Amino acid sequence: MATAMTDAHRMFLQSIMTHGALKAREVKALYKKCCETFNRPVEHENLGKFVNEINHHVGPFSMMIQKGVSEEDGVQYYALVNMMESDITHLASDYTETELEFFKKVLDLIVDSDTGVASSTDVLNLTDLLHEEQNRKMRKKEAEDVIRRMVRDRWLNEHQGEISLSVRGILELKPYLMEHYKDDIRQCCLCDQIALKGQLCQSDSCEAKMHYFCANRYFRDKDQPSCPRCKADWDHMVIQGANGHSQTEQTPASQ
């Protein structure tokens, strides 16, 4: 017999729906708040069980609270994911058709770059492409506004003029990404998740890619960084800041 939803579950679910995605730390605080509000004992080891109880009830509506790891910093997030639509159309409630076509072009740019980031200048210039290819008009100022809203809704990340897909975006758009970019999307050879942002194996014949933070963890205690797949030397980039693209420092592979 499944556990019934209580107001604590509903408050938790509503909050995740409102925010789109929350950091694991925020989710723990939310869980505590929901329990306290409705006089339930706070048992942090039971957060997973609590989430499963909710998932049991939202499953019939093709929804699921899923955990994902941010490509930015390896931090865990929770997001409410719509499992039904393998298309980008479930953003359709918030964005116009032209804005969605623009977003698809932004995704092209992000996926095409090996690093998983696109510069805002290149992103804004997509408005010209949108006009040439589809005869859709979008001013640069409007494009800026769409990007701002997509960052606010946690679909995209923006950091120092570089735009990437957020953890929510990756979780929700996974089926779309896998279908539309079959040959371009790579999985991290360490954690097996989609890796947009990451390092590539330098051997031409090897397709291995890994997240910056996965690489940090993996190479931390290894004297001779080498590709886990083809064993070629790996030029490991140590990440200093939270973001895997701007503040990198190269440590040459040991001889």
Partner 1 sequence: TTLTQAQRAAESLSRQEIERKVNEVVQFFLIMEQKKAAVKRADITKHILKEHSKVFPVVLEKAKKKLREVFGVSVEELEGKDKRYILVNLVDTPDGQDHLNMLDEGPKSGLLLVVLSLIFMKGNVIQDTLLWHTLKRLGIQENQPHEVLGDVKSLLTKEFTRQLYLEYKRVPQSDPPSFEFRWGPRAHKETTKRRVLQFVSKMYGSESLEIWTSQYQDVLRSEGGEGGGQ
Site residues (vs Mg ion, CB under 5 A): 18, 94
Residue 124 neighbours by CB under 8 Å, 6+ apart: 140, 143, 144
Q: How far is the CB of 17 from partner 1 (least distance, A)?
A: 7
What is the sign, positive or negative, of the torsion defined by CA atoms of 85, 73, 198, 218? negative
- Tell me the per-residue interface mask from 121 to 160 with partner 1, x by CB under 8 A, - otherwise: ------------------------x--x------------
Do β-strands 156-159 and 118-119 pair in parallel, antiparallel, or remain unpaired?
unpaired
Q: What is the smallest separation between the CB atom of 93 and Mg ion, expressed in angstroms? A: 5
According to the binding rule CB under 5 A, does residue 167 interact with Zn ion?
Answer: no
What is the pattern of x (binds partner 1, CB under 8 A) and - over residues 73-112? -----------x-----x--xx------------------
CA distances from 122 to 37, 42, 109, 110, 173 (A): 47, 48, 8, 10, 22
Q: Are 53 and 3 in contact (CB under 8 A)?
A: yes
**Binding of Zn ion at residue 170 (CB under 5 A)?**
no
How many alpha carbons fall within 13 Å on the CB side of residue 8? 20
Q: Which window, 60-68, 167-175, 186-194, 219-227, contacts partner 1 (CB under 8 A)?
A: 60-68
Q: Which of residues 3-22 bind partner 1 (CB under 8 A)?
A: 4-5, 7, 10-11, 13-15, 17-18
Site residues (CB under 8 A) for partner 1, limited to 188-247:
none
- Among residues 43, 44, 49, 61, the one that binds partner 1 under rule CB under 8 A: 61
What gap in Å lies between CA 180 and CA 177, rounded to an integer?
A: 5
Say what the alpha-carbon torsion angle 213, 215, 219, 225 is, to the nearest 10 degrees: -150
Q: How far is the CB of 18 from Mg ion (least distance, A)?
A: 4
CB of 82 to partner 1, least distance (A): 8
**Distance of closest approach, residue 167 Cβ to partner 1, in angstroms:** 19
User: Are 79 and 171 within 8 A, CB to CB?
Assistant: yes
- The Cα angle at residue 181 between residues 118 and 146, in degrees rounded to 5: 40
42 binds partner 1 (CB under 8 A): no
Q: Residues interacting with Zn ion, by CB under 5 A?
A: 188, 190-191, 201, 203, 206, 208, 211, 214, 227, 229-230
